[in-house]
Amino acid sequence: MTKLTDKQKRFCKEYIIDFNGTRAAIAAGYSKNTARQLAAGTLSKVYIQDHIKSLTAKVNAKLDISAERTKLELARIGYSDIRQFYDENGFLIPVHQLSDDAAACLAGVEEEKLFDYRNGEKEHIGNLVKIKRHDKLKALEMLARIDGIFEKDNSQTKAETKVIPAEELEEIKALLRAPSSSKSVDKAA
């Protein structure tokens, strides 16, 4: 196995931050003028690719990033039901009491205090809470792509090309130019 230089190791560590080779090359200490070309050359080396895969696997393991967990999070969003955010009386359930599945669907929560002014006094009359959920259709689309559902059920993904002989093509053109018997056009009129 080829031993990496300190700059190459630094490049690999920087690269897995955002997978931007030019930025990683500059951060590793290479010249800004040649960073793009150097990054392309460095990334084409198998031993560099292997080191990047190794670093990425370590990060993924540390952060518990896996295909199964990703699919679980997408499924939580894609198969979510708005009713899981409300109690039996129709009131919004506080965020800290939501199930893990429901909480995973939330993109954000906004709360605004409502006041009324009576006799010059400011009186708190309630709260307006707005919840924003992650995009359910996008999550379902991503799950379908991961599982290959579009490829299995969509015949449009397999374009078929048929070569039509020239004489057959001329016959088709003539048929298309010929007036239809059901639509006779009187040119004299």
Distance, in Å, from the CA atom of 152 to the CA atom of 154, rounded to the nearest integer, reads 6
CA atoms within 13 A on the CB side of 181: 0
Distance, in Å, from the CA atom of 135 to the CA atom of 80, rounded to the nearest integer, reads 10
For residue 139, count other CB atoms closer than 10 A to its CB.
20
For helices 67-78 and 136-146, what crossing angle results, to 10°? Answer: 140
CB 139 within 8 A of CB 128: no
Distance, in Å, from the CA atom of 39 to the CA atom of 20, rounded to the nearest integer, reads 9
The CATH architecture to which 6-62 belongs is: Orthogonal Bundle (1.10)
Distance, in Å, from the CA atom of 135 to the CA atom of 106, rounded to the nearest integer, reads 10
Q: What is the pLDDT of residues 41-87, one digit of tens each?
A: 999 999 999 999 999 999 888 888 888 888 999 999 999 999 999 99
CB 85 within 8 A of CB 134: no
Higher-confidence residue of 175 and 142: namely 142
Helix (H) / strand (E) element for 16: namely helix 6-18
For residue 24, count other CB atoms closer than 10 A to its CB.
25
Using the predicted structure, report yes or no on whether residue 185 has a pLDDT greater than 50: no
0.85 cut: is pTM over it?
no
Q: What is the pLDDT of residues 4-41, one digit of tens each?
A: 999 999 999 999 999 999 999 999 999 999 999 999 99
Every domain of the chain and the residues it spans: 6-62, 71-137
Q: What is the pLDDT of residues 89-148, one digit of tens each?
A: 999 999 999 999 999 999 999 999 999 988 888 999 999 999 999 999 999 999 888 888
- DSSP per-residue letters across 56-77: HHHHHHHTT--HHHHHHHHHHH
